Amino acid sequence: MSEARGESSDTTRDIMCATHRAVCEHGYADLTMQAIADESSVSKSALHYHYDSKHDLLAAFLDHLYEQWEADLAAAEAESDDPEARLRALFDATLGVDPDADEDLQTAILEIKAQAPYDDAYRERLRRVDERFHDAVRDTIADGVDAGVFRDVDPAVEATFLTSAISGAHTRKAALDLDVESVADSLDAYVDDRLRRGERE
Radius of gyration of the chain (CA): 19
Rounded to whole angstroms, the Cα distance separating 100 from 93 reads 15
Residue 2 or 163 having the CB closest to a copy of itself: 163
Among 110, 132, 139, 149, binds a copy of itself (CB under 8 A): 110
Which one of 38-46, 49-57, 82-90, 164-172 is the stretch in contact with a copy of itself (CB under 8 A)? 164-172
Among 27, 48, 63, 77, binds a copy of itself (CB under 8 A): 27
Asked if 178 interacts with a copy of itself (CB under 8 A), we say yes
Residue 8 or 186 having the CB closest to a copy of itself: 186
Rounded to whole angstroms, the Cα distance separating 18 from 20 reads 5
Asked if 161 interacts with a copy of itself (CB under 8 A), we say yes
Rounded to whole angstroms, the Cα distance separating 111 from 175 reads 10
Asked if 149 interacts with a copy of itself (CB under 8 A), we say no
Among 3, 130, 135, 139, binds a copy of itself (CB under 8 A): 130
Residue 51 or 122 having the CB closest to a copy of itself: 122
DSSP 131-193: HHHHHHHHHHHHHHHHHTSB-S--HHHHHHHHHHHHHHHHHHHHHH----THHHHHHHHHIII
Residue 66 or 190 having the CB closest to a copy of itself: 190
Asked if 45 interacts with a copy of itself (CB under 8 A), we say no
Asked if 84 interacts with a copy of itself (CB under 8 A), we say no
Among 123, 132, 139, 197, binds a copy of itself (CB under 8 A): 123
3-state secondary structure of 196: strand
Among 17, 127, 147, 148, binds a copy of itself (CB under 8 A): 127
Could you give phi then psi for residue 19, rounded to 5 degrees? -65, -40
Contact by Cβ (8 Å): 147, 180: no
Asked if 180 interacts with a copy of itself (CB under 8 A), we say yes
Q: Specify the length of the chain in residues.
A: 201
